[in-house]
Structure 1
Amino acid sequence: MENDVRDDLVLSHAVVTADVTVDFDAVDIAAWLKTLPTHEYQRCAPGDHKAAGYTVDDDGTPMSINVEMIGTGLVIQQYRFEAAEPHYCKMVSLSDVLTPSGWTTTQVIWELRMERLDGHRCRYTNTVTSHPTESFLQFIGAQGQTFTEAAHARQEASGQHCRVETPRYAQSIARWATARSTVTA
């Protein structure tokens, strides 16, 4: 019950875009995620991104493991691939969060999309939505914080984080696609 996700409540929601020049047909976000090295992940949000890895869950579902700072919280995300396509991925994680007051959990939904604009101009959209768990609501209540206060703080921190990482993700995906198309050409 404690980790039941309250999808009726939005803790934070950020949608940030970045335009890049890349061959749309060479883009494969799912393959990029599955091969994203830790140091490249760190370059996408310097100081905030700590580690990235790829694994599978017990049932064989591909997973991206990400460790990052969002505001004052160290977030350990275990993203399960719900959609893994070349131009769209949807990842869902029940994430552990270490705050200055202790551990809690939230659900994070990460959507990555690349759209062709014209020629080789593409738009990357990074969407991150977080929902509280029952455990999170109990945790903030014990700290004397309302959901509105917690959501405001998380929205600010997550929004700022997404504004930093989105253009860097777009550039990383474009570099990966260009290097891949050069090798296969």
Structure 2
Amino acid sequence: MSPTVRTDLILSHARITADVTAPFDHVDVAEWLRTLPTHEYQRCAPGDHKAAGYTVDDDGTPMSINVEMIGTGLVVQQYRFETAERDYCKMVSLSDVLTPSGWTTTQVIWELRMERLDGDSCRYTNTVTSHPTEDFLDFVASQGQTFEDAAAARQEASERHCRVETPLYARSIARHAAEATTN
């Protein structure tokens, strides 16, 4: 299995926004990710989100571990925090994907941004970009599928998934910020 990521190819890309009322001065997306309980993660995409956790990699880099269904694939994401700020996080994962035909890998880049629009009016932007690995390209070819067909299916599934989770993530981050004002 090759961990070589093909950044020249895009398997899927979704950028969805949701407006929410939140005390922006108490928004902390990085802290929300580090403390996100599994059941709250599940509420953010009912039926698709299976489990979430927080750990560190061998080198001490913080990681968010997420297990979810994207279309027909069970995706195990091991997100490394590349950027962890109060209003913006960039997470990168070499993810394992269990499909009906077996295991493969993809790279997933997840960006979470909360911006103040006016007062406590905020906009959450959920961006998810996936690149194939060489392993993924070999896997789809062995199934008699083209990359273009696999990308079209993944694009549809990812966009549908992000449309569900984005407004629920926004509300969860807003609740987390509101709770921080009372502590």
Cα offsets for 1:9-38 (capped at 9, x unmatched): 000000000000011110000000000000
Residue-pair matches, total: 183
1:83 aligns with 2:83: yes
Instruction: For residues 62-116 of structure 1, give each alpha carbon's deviation from its aligned partner in whole angstroms, at most 9, with x where no partner exists.
Output: 0000000000000000000000000000000000000000000000000000000
Q: Secondary structure at the match of 2:152?
A: helix
Q: Say if 2:113 is the partner of 1:113.
A: yes
| In structure 2, C-alpha distance between the alignment counterparts of 1:58 and 1:87, rounded to whole Å | 26
Deviations 1:147-175 (A, max 9, x none): 10000000000000000000000000000
Does the alignment pair 1:166 with 2:156?
A: no
State the partner residue of 1:123: 123
Counterparts of 1:22-171 in structure 2 under 5 Å? 22-171=22-171
Per the TM alignment, residue 181 of structure 1 is displaced from its structure 2 partner at its CA by: 1.1
Code of the residue aligned with 2:39 in structure 1: it is H
TM-score under structure 2 length normalisation: 0.99
Q: In the alignment, is residue 4 of structure 1 matched against residue 4 of structure 2?
A: yes
Paired with 2:132 and 2:117, the residues of 1 have a C-alpha distance of 35
Could you tell me how far 1:134 is from its partner in structure 2? 0.1
Runs of 4+ that moved beyond 3 A: none
Gaps of 5+ in 1: none
Aligned partners of 1:43, 1:95: CA distance in 2, in Å? 22
3-state SS of paired residue (1:127) = strand
Amino acid aligned to 2:98 = L
5+ residue gaps, structure 2: none
Alpha-carbon distance, 1:119 to partner:
1.0
**What is the match of residue 21 of structure 1?**
21
Structure 1 distance, partners of 2:14, 2:35, is 25
Q: CA RMSD in A?
A: 0.6
Q: Tell me the TM-score normalised to structure 1 length.
A: 0.98
Identity %: 80
Measure the CA separation in 1 of the matches of 2:155 and 2:112: 19
